[in-house]
Amino acid sequence: MSNPCIIVQSNMEVLLNVDSEQHQEARDTIAPFTELVKSPEHFHTYRISHLSLWNAASIGLSANEVLLRLRKYSSYEIPIVVATEITEYMGRYGILRLVLKNSNLVLECDNLPLFIELCKRKELKDYIETFTSPNSAVVSPFLRGKLKILLTELGFPVQDLAGYVKGQPLDIELRKTMAGSGEEFVLRDYQKDAADIFYASGSEKGGSGVIVLPCGSGKTIVGMAAMALVKAHTLILTPSVTAARQWIKEILQKTTLTKDQVKEYSGDLKEIGPVTVATYQILTQRKRTKNSELEEFKNFSLFGAQKWGLMIYDEVHLLPAPVFRFSADMQATRRLGLTATLVREDHKETEAFSLIGPKKFDIPWRVLEAQGWIAQAKCHEIRVNMNAELRMAHAVASPREKIIIAGCNPEKFGTVKKLLEKHSEENDRILIIGQYIEQLETLAEEIGAPLITGKTPNKERDKLYDNFRNSEIKILMVSKVGNFAIDLPDASVLIQISGTFGSRQEEAQRLGRVLRPKKDGRPAMFYSIVTSESREQEFAMNRQLFLAEQGYGYEVIYG
């Protein structure tokens, strides 16, 4: 073909021709079983991985369906090695199953030779208590999570059908009108679909997994819809106190629960109720003893404080390692992960798949944009130069110092001021976000804008967020604490002056800060200011990968 849409290569990579008229349709079609690797101008590169295939299998896609999708858009025959790999690895999902029989947790397998081979492995011997048949064995319920991780790492993911504890019952319904305002409240179709797919009518096939939706699309509402389906005591884990309080506010506004039923467990308050909203930070808090040894995670007792029927992990890609490990012990509890991107910077996606569950629901950002549920976004990368002195310092610096020098380039301040002048005339609410505190403090002083960092007391943060929301202030600066869970429905401009290396999930989260639909229908403006010909520019290309996968293009401007 003169204008091919995709080319499937024998190394499991898929090249997508973005100049093709069908490229958007093809991108959305292959998204459930691929991962974006890089996105230069004309051909974007996607990778088919074992994990992406297992995620696809978990939502009901078959190997035949995946191959049909590839053949529909491919310019050439699918390499035999690729077809074989897809068929083999998708076929592995569900061969091994965890089921509950006679109150025992049983690992069973459809393939007897495979089961015998796996059981002979020394890594697996400690998990097996006794064999109940040639192709099934009783395993320890306390090792359910660790066993799932191990088998996934061995290349044979377990389909967990062992069911869940019911948890202590809780009468909860979604309101039809929101408390306080009296406004009508109706679940959007995709929110209802996401909750229903997670719950799966209460069957053993539902109850654990991750919902992937863009920021501003109502992931919190999906969580509440799941709570209304499960109807049990719920523990919600969030990345910050601000996020925890937003959850509580939303729950009280949109469900039939009352204040005495919804409690906050954080550094400020430690209350436990039928619904408890806690922070990852408080759970991972440890103090040093007199002998300078770190004490145990004393707040982990929260996990056993109630007979939880549901655990919700907000921004699940941020789940700290200690909480992640503890989640291995929570496999009998329904688990819902919420995120805008499954990318984990610690590359623990396989563990997330095993412990929280596979991706249950995903929808392209541009689809929700077209339906008007999130704002249209225009992304710009503004490249600024270094002066001669800074360029020399950058040239002789260590790799890490190069990143800091480029990220804190003073030339960025002039660009920020030009953008503020432009958008202040348009009466926009502007959010400025960055990585380096000293850089942010200097800029905040120069432009006279309030700044929120990790040291800002929660009470002061809440006041500044409210003032910004109510238009009492039009410019607000935040450090990386602003990456997540800030409810700023009318912020329409975000200026990023520095970021965390090549973090794709951070780029996605930051754009999400301005994706809530605007009352006047105007698009969201996202500016990323980077230093030309530096390591920061290289990292910026990687940061943009996730958004490129969602269909966003960056206009490069030289400042």
In angstroms, rounded to a whole number, what is the distance separating the alpha carbons of residues 547 and 421? 27
Q: Which of 53-57, 179-183, 254-258 has the lowest mean pLDDT?
A: 179-183
- DSSP annotation of 269 reads -
Tell me the three state secondary structure of residue 401. Answer: helix
Residue 123's Cβ-side half-sphere holds a number of Cα atoms within 13 Å equal to 11
Would 189-363 and 370-558 be classified into the same CATH topology?
yes
Q: Secondary structure of the chain: what % helix, strand, coil (to 5)?
A: 40, 20, 35
pLDDT digits (tens, 9 = 90+) for 79-111: 999 999 999 999 999 999 999 998 899 999 999
How many Cβ atoms sit within 10 Å of the Cβ of residue 183? 9
- Token pair recorded at residue 502: 């090549």
Cα–chain center distance at 491: 21
- Over residues 497-512, mean pLDDT: 76
The H or E element spanning position 556 is: strand 554-558
How large a percentage of the chain has pLDDT more than 90?
51
Predicted confidence at residue 321, as pLDDT, reads: 78
pLDDT digits (tens, 9 = 90+) for 402-442: 989 999 999 999 999 999 999 987 778 899 999 999 999 99
Q: Answer whether residue 501 shows pLDDT above 90.
A: no
Question: Which band of pLDDT confidence, cut at 50, 70 and 90, is reported for residue 1?
Answer: very low
How many Cβ atoms sit within 10 Å of the Cβ of residue 101? 12
pLDDT digits (tens, 9 = 90+) for 7-22: 999 999 999 998 888 8
Residues 36, 26: contact at Cβ < 8 Å? no
Please state the φ and ψ torsions of residue 74, each to the nearest 5 degrees.
-80, 140
In angstroms, rounded to a whole number, what is the distance separating the alpha carbons of residues 103 and 24? 49
- Token pair recorded at residue 283: 């759970």
In angstroms, rounded to a whole number, what is the distance separating the alpha carbons of residues 492 and 489? 8
- Token pair recorded at residue 107: 């690992």
- DSSP annotation of 103 reads T
Thinking of the domain 370-558, which architecture would CATH place it in? 3-Layer(aba) Sandwich (3.40)
In angstroms, rounded to a whole number, what is the distance separating the alpha carbons of residues 53 and 85? 10
pLDDT digits (tens, 9 = 90+) for 146-190: 999 999 999 999 999 998 988 999 999 999 999 888 889 999 999
Better pLDDT: 254 or 424: 254
**Mean pLDDT (the chain, rounded):** 88
Give domain limits for the chain: 6-92, 96-160, 189-363, 370-558
- Token pair recorded at residue 386: 């270094």
Cα–chain center distance at 359: 11
Cα–chain center distance at 540: 19
Tell me the three state secondary structure of residue 184. Answer: strand
**E-assigned strands of 213-279?**
234-238, 262-265, 275-279
Residues 210, 318: contact at Cβ < 8 Å? no
pTM: 0.85
pLDDT digits (tens, 9 = 90+) for 66-81: 999 999 999 999 999 9
The H or E element spanning position 108 is: strand 104-109
Strands 96-101 and 158-160: parallel
CATH topology of domain 189-363: Rossmann fold (3.40.50)
* Residue from 311, 170, 313 nearest 232 by CA: 170
